[in-house]
Chains A and B, each alone.
Chain A
Amino acid sequence: KQEVTQIPAALSVPEGENLVLNCSFTDSAIYNLQWFRQDPGKGLTSLLLIQSSQREQTSGRLNASLDKSSGRSTLYIAASQPGDSATYLCAVGRVSGNTGKLIFGQGTTLQVKP
């Protein structure tokens, strides 16, 4: 059974710092991996999607990498800002059936202090 773990559960950094959020999964047979952002009381916003054949994806100050063999993904945030404060969720897509179903980690809550 696929399990997705995100460590740490919470992180506090000063503004301007570069930071890395970690995601690990137990079964390397994945279809894709998606990073989301969730603000308090809101829905999930898709940040980056990495297909199983890809190693990384970039969007603005965000860079996500994928290493299937080690069961790990990282989300790199450059020059963090207070507006980046949110919960970041990692989710892994299953291979079987190509249904798009995702298994979620429990998230890392990020606080960027001015």
Chain B
Amino acid sequence: DAGITQSPRHKVTETGTPVTLRCHQTENHRYMYWYRQDPGHGLRLIHYSYGVKDTDKGEVSDGYSVSRSKTEDFLLTLESATSSQTSVYFCAISDPGHSGYEQYFGPGTRLTVT
């Protein structure tokens, strides 16, 4: 298994509070991604990073920000959590030099916003 960890694995928070989720990889892959998974919507890309300090938006980026200060860490921040952001969040990694962008996923973080 690819070395990807996510923390926390579970979190309950209140509406309006900021929340930061962390993704850590030990594979030295260049690209990192944050997805959310919801019933009826499947997996949707929130933000991705193509290098240290290089990030871009995905299809559902409103209300989220990201940062990548080191190759191994990619942080997802919900600036002011809302109930619509209750979801399971997955981090993934890939690298063009490793099996041509094959993506590997972390175990997920289940976030509940009350």
State the A residues within 8 Å of B (CB). Answer: 31-32, 34, 36, 42-46, 49, 51, 89, 91, 93, 98-102, 104-107
CB distance B107 to A43 under 8 Å? Answer: yes
Instruction: Report how far A46 CA is from B98 CA in the complex, Å.
Output: 13
A32 near B100 (CB under 8 angstroms)?
A: yes
Interface residues of B in 79-114 (CB under 8 A from A): 90, 92, 94, 96, 99-108
Q: How far is the CB of A58 from chain B (nearest CB, A)?
A: 15
Interface size on B, residues (CB 8 A): 25
5 contacts between A and B (CB under 8 A): A32-B101, A43-B90, A44-B43, A91-B43, A102-B103
Establish whether residues A100 and B103, one from each chain, have CB atoms under 8 Å apart when the complex forms. Answer: yes
Question: Closest CB-CB distance, B12 to chain A, in whole Å?
Answer: 17
C-alpha spacing A49/B92, complex, angstroms: 15
Q: List the count of A-B residue pairs having beta carbons below 8 Å apart.
A: 59
B31 to chain A, nearest CB (A): 5
Are the CB atoms of B33 and A46 closer together than 8 Å? no
- Chain A CB count within 10 A is highest, among B43, B50, B58, B94, for B43
**How distant is the Cα of A44 from the Cα of B42 in the complex, in angstroms?**
12
Contact check, A98 vs B96: say whether CB atoms are below 8 A apart.
yes
Contact across chains for A43 and B106 when beta carbons are under 8 A apart? yes
Once the chains bind, are B108 and A34 in contact (CB under 8 Å)?
Answer: no
Q: Report the bound CA distance from A36 to B92 in whole Å.
A: 13
Given B43, B50, B104, B106, which contacts A89 in the complex, CB threshold below 8 Å? B43
Closest to B43 in A: A104
Residue in A closest to B102 when the chains form the complex, CB atoms: A49
A102–B48 alpha-carbon span in the complex (Å): 11
Separation of A89 and B33 alpha carbons in the complex (Å): 17
Residues A34 and B102 in contact in the complex (CB < 8 Å), given A99-B31, A104-B43: yes
